[in-house]
Amino acid sequence: MNENGDRMSIIVQTIASILFPLALIFSFYVIMHGHLTPGGGFQGGAIGASAVALLIVAFGAKYVEGKMEEENLSIFESLGGLVFVIVSILGFFLAATFLTNFLVGEPLFGIIPAWGEAPLNSGGVLPILNLAVGMKVIGGLASVVLILAIASKEGEK
């Protein structure tokens, strides 16, 4: 450890601060295109949590905890689960059963794509569920890594 305490060198910090927004954008791309390309909520969430892990490695757990508190991450995760359950129950009330895809066939969200086309507003409720699961996985895995890093830092002293 150098005089900065938990931080790594300035090269690693610069590269991490360049790579972090790119990784978050890629994670959001994988989540939002889950119904068109390979990937989905869990995969994109794992990529976003890896971006947060990179930030923890470069800047130290204390700094990241000051920027994004673990309570906010926990609230983010619970919000994702709530959206999932609410959309599922809406399927019960607006259509046949629990988890029915009630938006498919609608003009705004439920376009059925032709061969070789990939419109973003297709798939009915699948993008919403992808977004919910992605929020859940990003919040959950990032908060686990953050909590473990802080706990191991406190255990060192």
Partner 1 sequence: MKKATAIAFIIFSLFLFFSAYEMRSFGNPPSEMDDRIIGKYNSTANKWEYGAVNETGANNAVTSVVFDYRGYDTLGEATVLFTAIAGVMMLFRREKK
Partner 2 sequence: MMGLFEIAIILLSASMIASAIIAIWFKDLLASIIALAVMSLLLSLYFYILQAPDVAIAEAGVGACLTTAILIITIRSTERMEEGEK
Residue ranges in contact with partner 2 by CB under 8 A? 30, 38-40, 42-43, 46-47, 49-50, 53, 56-57, 141, 144-145, 148-149, 151-152, 155-156
Cβ atoms 76, 138 nearer than 8 A = yes
Cα dihedral 23, 78, 39, 112 in deg (nearest 10): -120
Q: Which of 49, 58, 47 is nearest to 17 (CA)?
A: 58
Please identify, using beta-carbon distances, which residue of 49 and 103 lies nearer to partner 2: 49
Q: How far is the CB of 3 from partner 1 (least distance, A)?
A: 26
Tell the residue number behind the tokens 């992808």, with chain if given: 130
Collect contacts of 14-17 with beta carbons under 8 A, ≥24 apart.
Answer: 15/58, 16/54, 16/55, 16/57, 16/58, 16/59, 17/58
Q: How far is the CB of 150 from partner 1 (least distance, A)?
A: 8
Q: Which residues would be at the binding site for partner 1 (CB under 8 A)?
A: 34-38, 40, 42, 70, 74, 77-78, 80-81, 84-85, 88, 99, 101, 104-105, 110-118, 122-124, 126, 129-130, 133, 136-137, 140, 143-144, 147-148, 150-151
Cβ atoms 103, 88 nearer than 8 A = no
Please identify, using beta-carbon distances, which residue of 58 and 91 lies nearer to partner 2: 58
DSSP state of 157: -
Please identify, using beta-carbon distances, which residue of 25 and 120 lies nearer to partner 1: 120
Residue 122, contacted partner among partner 2, partner 1, none, CB below 5-8 A by kind: partner 1
Output the CA angle 110-115-117, nearest 5 degrees. 65
Residue 156, contacted partner among partner 1, partner 2, none, CB below 5-8 A by kind: partner 2
Q: How far is the CB of 94 from partner 2 (least distance, A)?
A: 29
